């Protein structure tokens, strides 16, 4: 019995599944496949016979560039294979070691920021890379939040909430926004990344979204209480955080970002009901999406089934979901609304604390369920084993008949 056949049975894959995959237009667009493989595929599909020997994987030659693959998929066009990467944070300690850097440099020094972005591609095997650090506090810091000094395995976190007592009247988006906080470092990081990879890799900017920024300013519990008792205060804060994010995204697009991801963990249905989401989150995300020159991707943690149609109705190009949200259901709803889906290998249960075999199984399941971008369901935990993170790339390449990826031992500019 062939190794491929043994693997097929071991993973519960019925004979003929690879043949069906090869026959799908998405899998074979702009791809050269031998006549022999095509004939075998057709025979498997037509006969439905489960006793024939499964053909060996066929290496598929493709001239599609990584940047083209990512941007075509985000724009709803056909691609040669599913892009793999992360649209959330990936400040992995394993990446830091191969870059020769650590925190706080990786969140504030332009060269260290650039090295960590590059490590996502050369060490993690990602098809695209992230600029603007690996935390979701940058916008909040610009508006007055203090942040904790990070540890190697713990990114910046909010240390103070300047509006927690409801004093929002003096809150405003400052004129010198782009010279505050880490924005100058981000500008230099973009310059480095654009010069090195601008023609070859898609680069995305990212930060907290407007509601999570509001939660950082007011603290989560007072914000939720104010949404009920003093909605005008919440609307005041949201107006400021929305304007701040619009300016940050315009900055990122001007510096070379191909898209921007807004992380909104504070707006998960576990904390905010769909009714309040539609009032205090959705309209502001839509305003951002309509006011910036690049596509926006919206990430929300947890079980997002109650709000997924609202998420897709904000004008964003993509949504990022955790494993708690069923991928097939998300794809069906999102695609009907012209939106792409990122996800959804579990970050805590699998990438952080699971085995490589479990990571592979979840990656393959997400691919089979139709994810548009194979990604973690949320930000990668800093202490996630590299072998686990690599399973996303290895699984994608296995499914699409690509040679095995080997991570770089060192990362340099």
* Tens digits of residue pLDDT in 11-26: 333 333 333 334 333 3
In a 13 Å sphere around the CA of 133, the CA atoms on its Cβ side amount to 26
Query: Which among 41, 61, 81 is the end of a domain?
Result: 61
- Supply the pLDDT for residue 61: 52
Query: Which among 30, 61, 92 is the end of a domain?
Result: 61
Cα-trace Rg, the chain: 22
Tell me: do 28 and 154 sit in the same domain. Answer: no
Residue 314 has pLDDT above 50, yes or no: yes
Residue 151 has pLDDT above 70, yes or no: yes
Tell me: do 16 and 123 sit in the same domain. Answer: no
Tell me: do 33 and 177 sit in the same domain. Answer: no
Read off the pLDDT band of 35 (50, 70, 90): very low
Residue 404 has pLDDT above 70, yes or no: yes
- Supply the pLDDT for residue 60: 53
Closest-CA residue to 176 (of 127, 209, 143, 133): 143
* DSSP label at residue 266: G
Note whether residue 53 is domain-resident.
yes
Note whether residue 218 is domain-resident.
yes
Read off the pLDDT band of 386 (50, 70, 90): very high
Tell me: do 223 and 298 sit in the same domain. Answer: yes
The whole domain housing 237 covers: 64-399
Residue 143 has pLDDT above 50, yes or no: yes
Note whether residue 241 is domain-resident.
yes
Task: Give the mean model confidence (pLDDT) for residues 261-290.
Answer: 98
Note whether residue 412 is domain-resident.
no
Burial class (CB in 10 A: 0-12, 13-18, 19+), 274: middle
Task: Give the mean model confidence (pLDDT) for residues 362-390.
Answer: 99
Contact 261, 206 (CB under 8 A): yes
User: How far apart are alpha carbons 225 and 119 in whole angstroms?
Assistant: 41
- Supply the pLDDT for residue 7: 38
Residue 223 has pLDDT above 90, yes or no: yes
Note whether residue 376 is domain-resident.
yes
Read off the pLDDT band of 166 (50, 70, 90): confident
Tell me: do 233 and 370 sit in the same domain. Answer: yes
- Supply the pLDDT for residue 206: 99
Contact 140, 208 (CB under 8 A): yes
Read off the pLDDT band of 403 (50, 70, 90): very high
Read off the pLDDT band of 134 (50, 70, 90): very high
Query: Which among 61, 79, 111 is the end of a domain?
Result: 61
- Supply the pLDDT for residue 149: 80
- What percent of the chain has a predicted confidence (pLDDT) above 90? 84
**How many contiguous H segments (helices) and E segments (strands) does the chain have?**
19, 7
Note whether residue 408 is domain-resident.
no
Q: Which of 51-65, 150-164, 235-249, 360-374 has the lowest mean pLDDT?
A: 51-65
Task: Give the mean model confidence (pLDDT) for residues 99-124.
Answer: 97
Tell me: do 358 and 395 sit in the same domain. Answer: yes
Tell me: do 126 and 100 sit in the same domain. Answer: yes
The mean of the pLDDT values for the chain is 88
Task: Give the mean model confidence (pLDDT) for residues 150-155.
Answer: 90
Tell me: do 254 and 359 sit in the same domain. Answer: yes
Residue 53 has pLDDT above 70, yes or no: no
- Supply the pLDDT for residue 32: 35
Note whether residue 321 is domain-resident.
yes
Tell me: do 336 and 210 sit in the same domain. Answer: yes
Cis status of the peptide bond prior to 344, with omega within 30 of 0: yes
Note whether residue 406 is domain-resident.
no
Read off the pLDDT band of 231 (50, 70, 90): very high
Number of domains the chain is built from: 2
Residue 30 has pLDDT above 70, yes or no: no
- Supply the pLDDT for residue 8: 38
- Supply the pLDDT for residue 63: 74
Closest-CA residue to 136 (of 154, 156, 150): 156
Tens of pLDDT along 170-208?
999 999 999 999 999 999 999 999 999 999 999 999 999
Closest-CA residue to 116 (of 392, 382, 397, 373): 382
- Supply the pLDDT for residue 62: 66
Tell me: do 161 and 264 sit in the same domain. Answer: yes
- Supply the pLDDT for residue 13: 34
Task: Give the mean model confidence (pLDDT) for residues 218-225.
Answer: 97
Tell me: do 266 and 305 sit in the same domain. Answer: yes
Residue 46 has pLDDT above 80, yes or no: no
CATH of the domain at 184: 3.20.20.210
Tell me: do 31 and 76 sit in the same domain. Answer: no
- Supply the pLDDT for residue 150: 80
């Amino acid at each position: 019995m062939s190794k491929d056949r043994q693997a097929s049975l071991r993973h519960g894959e019925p004979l003929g599944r690879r043949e069906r995959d090869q026959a799908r237009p998405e899998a074979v667009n702009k791809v050269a496949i031998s006549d022999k493989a095509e004939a075998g595929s057709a025979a498997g599909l037509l006969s439905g016979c489960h006793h024939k020997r499964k053909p060996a994987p066929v290496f598929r030659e493709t001239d599609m560039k990584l940047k083209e693959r990512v941007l075509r998929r985000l724009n709803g066009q056909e691609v040669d294979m599913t892009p793999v990467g992360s649209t959330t944070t990936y400040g992995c300690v394993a990446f830091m070691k191969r870059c020769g850097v650590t925190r706080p440099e990786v969140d504030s020094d332009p060269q260290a920021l650039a090295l960590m972005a590059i490590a996502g591609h050369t060490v993690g095997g990602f098809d695209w890379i992230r600029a603007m650090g690996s935390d979701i506090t940058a916008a909040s810091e610009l508006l007055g939040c203090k942040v904790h000094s990070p540890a190697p395995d713990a990114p910046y976190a909010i240390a103070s909430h300047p509006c927690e007592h409801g004093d929002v009247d003096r809150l405003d988006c400052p004129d010198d926004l782009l010279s505050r906080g880490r924005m100058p470092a981000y500008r230099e990081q973009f310059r480095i990344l654009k010069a090195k990879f601008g023609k070859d890799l898609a680069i995305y900017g990212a930060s907290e979204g407007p509601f999570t920024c509001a939660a950082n300013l007011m603290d989560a519990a007072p914000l939720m209480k104010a949404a009920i008792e003093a909605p005008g205060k919440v609307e005041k804060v949201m107006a400021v955080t929305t304007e701040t994010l619009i300016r940050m995204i315009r900055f990122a697009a001007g510096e070379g970002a191909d898209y921007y991801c807004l992380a909104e963990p504070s707006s998960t249905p576990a904390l905010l009901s769909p009714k309040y989401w539609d009032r205090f989150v959705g309209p502001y995300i839509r305003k951002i999406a309509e006011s910036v020159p690049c596509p926006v991707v919206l990430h929300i943690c947890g079980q997002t089934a109650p709000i997924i149609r609202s998420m897709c109705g904000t004008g964003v190009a993509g949504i990022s979901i955790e494993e708690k949200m069923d991928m097939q259901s998300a794809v069906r709803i999102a695609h009907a609304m012209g939106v792409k889906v990122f996800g959804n290998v579990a970050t805590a249960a699998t990438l952080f604390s699971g085995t490589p075999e479990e990571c592979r199984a979840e990656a393959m399941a997400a691919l089979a369920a139709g994810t548009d971008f194979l990604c973690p369901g949320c930000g990668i935990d800093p202490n996630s084993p590299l072998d686990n993170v690599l399973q996303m790339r290895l699984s994608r390449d296995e499914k699409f008949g690509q040679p095995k990826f080997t991570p770089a031992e060192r990362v340099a500019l």
